[in-house]
Amino acid sequence: MKTILLLRHAKSAWSDTRLSDHERPLNRRGERSARAIADHLAQNGPRPDLILCSTATRTRQTLAPLIKRLGAPAPPLSLEDDLYLASEGSLLARLQALADDVAIVLLIGHNDGIWQLAETLAARGPAASLAALREKYPTGTLAMLHVPVGTWAELAAGSGELLAFVRPRDLTRR
């Protein structure tokens, strides 16, 4: 059994037109959302064996509060240029290439790739969570999937069960 945590970066700022898309930081709402998701994952979610993160500023800033909340030693982290705006197919191929001793992976990336990957993998799960996933994948949202495979190479469309679909707004209502 493998567990996949798919986290879309939190809300980013568009105010500085001099910055490239890759360098856009989080805005205040995004910073709050990143902290809320970090708290949620640290308290309720499984601890990742490996974190894969796009090199974009907004994804690294989404990751930062989680690293603090997880405490030392932090899970191994791979910042990867190829995850920046990666397609669903590229993300799936990256997961399929993981070492099989990794049981839980956290992937922090961008839409539309993250959303499409979650939809492609999630064949079953609570009806309300599946409906929310299919409707929209807001910034800062985390999907948690279990996939009953022995090796990452076996990961395929429809092989996952959506266990949770957590939006930042769901956490601030509590």
DSSP per-residue letters across 93-159: HHHHTS-TT--EEEEEE-TTHHHHHHHHHEEES-HHHHHHHHH---TT-EEEEEE--SSGGG--TT-
Q: For the chain, how big is the Rg over CA atoms in Å?
A: 15
Domains belonging to the chain, first-starting first, are: 2-172 (3.40.50.1240)
Q: pLDDT at residue 33 above 80?
A: yes
| Six token digits for residue 48 | 């990742």
pLDDT of residue 173: 56
pLDDT of residue 174: 47
Mean pLDDT computed over every residue of the chain: 94
Write down the residue that tokens 């001099």 correspond to.
Answer: 18
Write down the residue that tokens 């076996």 correspond to.
Answer: 154
Kindly indicate the confidence band of residue 16, based on its pLDDT and cuts at 50, 70 and 90.
Answer: confident
**Bigger pLDDT: 42 vs 21:** 42
Kindly indicate the confidence band of residue 100, based on its pLDDT and cuts at 50, 70 and 90.
Answer: very high
